Every structure is written in structure tokens, then in C-alpha cells.
Amino acid sequence: MAEITNYRLILDEIEQTLSNIKSEETSTFFTQLLDAKNVFVSGKGRSGFVANSFAMRLNQLGKQAHVVGESTTPSIHQEDLFVVISGSGSTAHLKILVEKAKESGAQVVVLTTQPESPIGTLADSVIELPAGTKYDAEGSAQPLGSLFEQASQIFLDSLVLNLMEKLSVDEETMQQNHANLE
């Protein structure tokens, strides 16, 4: 049986990526999350799974969060925030959604490796995660966009801890807000 040692490489890559996120980008995003009436999330592939898990935690915090594309997702409006997770920042479908959100007056934030990408240039704010993507083998020993997706998940989970403190929400309250029709 193979020895499991690559986790050290993965943890080192995640630490390197997260340590390079600009604090002003994080502060802007945190304020946008606090101020938003509703938060909408989207991503494709594994980035979409990260977006969905973030929406789940926001709902457990008592924030109204919606996954774009679900049949129960309401309209986006001016006082809302659209969070897009796209390593390349060039996914055509996500760009169309960003354009629609902007037309509706919503704020848009993108987590990406490419701030100057088509989505990055449309967004009101950008969280740059310097990690390799499925189109860029440089920047990570891991395949495709694994590092970006992992770093996105941990970054967003770290914001949940900050939101818990700022919103005075404890884990017991989050458990009460957890889905009970499973």
C-alpha cells in the first residue's frame, strides 16, 4: 500500500496561497457580505461545490443565501451580492450571470486566480487566490484546479468564523438553522 504523504504538499500549497490574499480584498468582501440583503453564489464543477457549501453556511448563520440555478432561487436585486467562484475567471456561463446581476444593480465579487479576466474586470471586487487552474499547470503540483478549489473552501470557511463573531451567532444557533429535512 502506498504511504499517504502528499497531504503535506497540499497543506503547504494552501498555506502559500492563502497567505498571499490581500487583506483589503478580504475586508471589502466581508463588508459586502454583512451589508447584503441576499447572497447569491455560483461556480462550475468543483468550484460550484465550494459555492454551494458557502451558501449552506451563510444560511446557517441566518443570512439569506441562494444557489444560482436552483428552482427556488429568487430574483437578484440592487441590495444583493453575487459571489462567483471561477479559477480562470473566463467561464462563459458565469460571465453571462455576472452581466445579468450587474444589470440588476447587484454587487459582484469573484474569487479567481485571474483578476484581469473577463469576470474579474466586470466584478465590483476581486479576491485573488494565486493558485494554478485547470488551464495553467504552473503554480501547483496538484492536478487541474485542485489548489484553487481547496484554497477557496478554506478562505470562505475562515470568513464564516469571522461572520459568526461579528453577527454573534454561536454553533448551537447554526445547528438549529441546519437543514432538518435530510
> Mind telling me the catalytic residues?
149
Residue 158 inside a domain? The answer is yes
- Name 110's bridge partners: 84, 126
Residue 176 inside a domain? The answer is no
Residue 178 inside a domain? The answer is no
Where in the sequence is the domain holding 51, given as residue range(s)?
A: 24-167
pLDDT bucket at 133, cuts 50 / 70 / 90: low
Indicate the SS3 state at residue 93: helix
Q: How many domains does the chain have?
A: 1
Which residue is it, cell 471586487?
Answer: 125
pLDDT at 131: 81
Residue 172 inside a domain? The answer is no
pLDDT in tens, 26-61: 999 999 999 999 999 999 999 999 999 999 999 999
| Average pLDDT, rounded, for the chain | 93
For 65-97, give one letter per residue: b (16+ CB within 10 A) or e: bbbbeeeeeeebeeebbbbbbbbbbbbeebbeb
User: Which one has a higher pLDDT value, 5 or 90?
Assistant: 90
Residue 54 inside a domain? The answer is yes
Task: Enter the pTM of the model.
Answer: 0.93
Question: At 39, which CATH number?
Answer: 3.40.50.10490
pLDDT at 21: 96
Mean pLDDT along residues 150-160: 97
CA distances from 41 to 64, 121, 155, 156 (A): 11, 18, 15, 12
Residue of 56, 45, 124, 134 lying closest to 85 (CA atoms):
45
pLDDT at 136: 60
